[in-house]
Amino acid sequence: MSNLIKAFDDLPVLIKFLLALPGIDGLAWGIYRLVKGIQRNNTTLIIAGIIWIFLGFAILWIVDLVCIAMYKKVTVFAD
C-alpha cells in the first residue's frame, strides 16, 4: 500500500492535475485517500476517501484542482 501512496505523491503536477478532472477524481484521489487512511489507521481519512469515491466526480474534484494548483499536492484530508 505504501508503494501506491508513494507513486501518487511522486507523480508530476500535470498528471496529478489530469487525475483531478471530473470523472477520474473520485476513483484516483478517493482510493488514494482511502489507502492512505488505512495505512495510517486514520478514521477521518478513511471516511473522506469513501466520500470522495462517491462524490468526487460531482463536486469534490474542484477542491482537488484548487489544492493541486496551490500546493502541488492533494492536501484536504490527505496530509
Residue 43, pLDDT above cutoff 90: yes
Domain ranges, ordered by start, for the chain: 2-71
What size, in residues, is the chain? 79
Q: Which helix (H) or strand (E) holds 39?
A: helix 25-40
Residue 78, pLDDT above cutoff 80: no
Residue 38, pLDDT above cutoff 80: yes
The overall pTM is greater than 0.75: yes
- Residue 57: band (very low, low, confident or very high) from pLDDT cuts 50, 70, 90: confident
Residue 1 is predicted with a pLDDT of 80
Counting Cα atoms < 13 Å in the Cβ hemisphere of 69 gives: 8
Residue 18 is predicted with a pLDDT of 95
